[in-house]
Amino acid sequence: MTDQSASAPILSVRGLTKTFRLHTLGGAEIRGCDGVSFDLAPGRFLALTGPNGSGKSSVLKCIYRTYLPTSGEIRYWPAEGPDVDLARADERRILVLRRREIGYVTQFLRVVPRVSVVDVVAEGLWHMGCDARTGRQVAREMLTRLEVRPHLWSVPPATFSAGEQQRVNLARALVLQPRLLLLDEPTASLDAAAVAVVIDLLRSLKTSGTAIIGVFHDVEPVRPLVDGIVRMQAGAGAIPAGRGHG
């Protein structure tokens, strides 16, 4: 269901700042992102753009809690229960949200050696209680839709090309139908045909209510899906732009 009224956000980020303190370099400080604020409603797609080093990926990693935010608030409204500040929530709570409702597609595929593509994609479903057969079945369907060639399905993805790894990475997150999906340059290594497939998949996820935040160097390929843009600038706070990002 698409929430066209779009009043109640699923995510609200306020003053999100990340600073890295490097003890190995005598306590030097490096800025990730600084004072980022935005709201996101179910079924909406927000693009984060900006030059290298402007902190786009840092925002995603703070939301997923791969980075510990230095200050600011990341309020998230889960499917059940009260809202939670992802910047400060207990790690065990974060793990449950990751397993059930928050997906993250990184730029790089990191998997256990020896595990086949099908199992890499099915694993999240198994963690949600899916049986082995059904999980693999759903994984195969998603791999088919992302046009990963069947003769690769039983192979561990370590030796795949960047484009193939990117698709496996996407498949792994998309099979779970997350409520909130974080995408870090999801189309960077894909050719035009593959980008069209991904756009199609993301559109149907949006229609089913998934809220999406994507980091893009170049937002043009996904423009038709985007409801709002946050432009990040190196060394400064984010400047929200575009039509109502909420």
Binding interface with other proteins (CB under 8 A): 20, 22-24, 61, 65-68, 90-96, 99-100, 110, 112-115, 123, 125-130, 132, 134-135, 138, 141-142, 174-177, 200-201, 204-205, 208
Name which of 57 and 166 has its Cβ closer to other proteins: 57
**Which sign, positive or negative, has the C-alpha torsion 127, 128, 134, 137?**
negative
Give the Cα separation of 94 and 129 in Å (integer).
18
Name which of 95 and 234 has its Cβ closer to other proteins: 95
Do the beta carbons of residue 232 and residue 62 sit within 8 Å? Answer: no
Least Cβ distance, residue 107 to other proteins (angstroms): 13
**Amino acid at position 175, single letter:** V
Residue found by looking up tokens 């195969």 in the block: 140
Give the Cα separation of 45 and 211 in Å (integer).
6
Q: How far is CA 203 from CA 76, 102, 176, 184, in A?
A: 22, 17, 15, 17
Name which of 113 and 243 has its Cβ closer to other proteins: 113
Contacts of 181 (CB under 8 A, 6+ apart): 102, 103, 104, 105, 173, 174, 205, 210, 211, 212, 213
Name which of 54 and 106 has its Cβ closer to other proteins: 106
Give, in degrees to the nearest 5, the angle at Cα 100 between 15 and 96: 70
Name which of 37 and 116 has its Cβ closer to other proteins: 116
